[in-house]
Amino acid sequence: MGEEEDFKEFEEETDNYKVGAKKTVEEYQKLDADDEALRKWKESLGLGGDVLPLEYPGDTRRVVIKQIQLIVDTEPQPITFDLTNEKTLKELASKRYKIKEKSVYHLKITFKVQHEIITGLRYVQYTKKAGIAVDKIDDHLGSYAPNTVNKPVYEVELPESEAPSGFLVRGNYSAVSKFIDDDKNDHLTLNWGVEIVKR
């Protein structure tokens, strides 16, 4: 089964949830404008007047994934994927980042939201070894308003995992990761991989 089939099957499994009607940021800002308590609550959600400008003029993306860090307990520094760099995006699929067996690792994701509130953002990942699916991750990141001057980016850390160990599990793994929201919008798809090596 290919990566796209994996994701289609996953979407069918989670298709029971129905999303309410969307409102624009402007509609939320005008909603009950004379209610002081509601105004303060909306500002705490990032629906005030200090929304950041677009990442670049004319940018239509609603979620801008700026960086992913692979944090491994056996490495002194995180492995950082700068997703604002076209060269990094092109190289990700062909590079293999080494992780020692039995290492404890997790991902830290830095992103920006623009244009509208994003509800139910999720990180979904399928991992394969020699073409065979070996792992599936589905982490709910939450719902987010457009970033503001006081909150220029969002950072989310995913739960920790332990790298497998033993002769049979060492080697190259390929992963397909997607950032999907409640409306099944695909905000970014990444192909990348790791190599599990002897400790």
- Return the domain boundaries, the chain: 3-197
* pLDDT for res 50: 81
Q: Is the pLDDT of residue 113 over 80?
A: yes
Nearest residue to 106 via CA among 143, 144, 138, 68? 68
Own/partner pairs for 17-21, CB < 8 Å, 24+ apart?
A: 17/120, 17/182, 19/119, 19/120, 19/182, 19/183
Average pLDDT of the residues in 160-183 = 94
Q: Is 70 exceeded by the pLDDT of residue 5?
A: no
* Of 186, 187, 191, nearest in space to 90 by CA: 191
- 140 has pLDDT over 90: yes
Structure tokens at 69: 């860090």
pTM over 0.75: yes
**What pLDDT is attached to residue 163?**
93
pLDDT in tens, 125-138: 999 999 899 999 99
The CATH code for residues 3-197 is 2.70.50.30
**E strand map for the chain:** 63-72, 79-82, 97-100, 104-113, 118-129, 132-144, 154-157, 161-162, 171-180, 186-197
Q: Check pLDDT > 90 for residue 38.
A: no
pLDDT tens for 91-109 read 998 999 999 999 999 999 9
